[in-house]
Amino acid sequence: MKTPRVLLVEDDNIIGVLLAELLEDMGYDVCAIEATEAGAVTAAARCRPHLMIVDVRLDEGNGISAVERIFRTGSIPHVFISSEPNHVFRPGAVFLLKPFREPDLAQAIQRAFGATVAS
């Protein structure tokens, strides 16, 4: 099986690099790290990821809107991450509260893949 491509949407450079390293250690290919809603939408069309890890709050735009825009061309499994617990998501959305550990991320990714299969 081909290595799954991951689009990482995170506006904090340090967190983005650390999370990309963690995902690569877990066996994923991080195809892009984007910091804005517009960048995320463009990168999704360009690299056609199998999975997205998306920070809810971005400096320019927000992760929820980015996913909604990306979904106009097709559904992609995704995990929302945030340091703030009070967000409203559509039913079945996978959310992970920062800070988290690798096992938490692995479990959230499996839930995201499962949610896509069930939809």
pTM of the model: 0.91
Closest CA to 39 of 15, 59, 24, 19: 59
Looking at every residue in the chain, the average pLDDT score rounds to: 92
Q: For 32-68, what is each residue's pLDDT tens digit?
A: 999 999 999 999 999 999 999 999 999 899 999 999 9
* Structural domains of the chain, with CATH: 5-118 (3.40.50.2300)
pLDDT tens-place string over residues 89-110 = 777 789 999 999 999 999 999 9
* Backbone torsion region of residue 82, taken as left when φ is above 0, otherwise alpha when ψ lies between -120 and 50, otherwise beta: beta
**Mean pLDDT confidence for 22-36:** 97
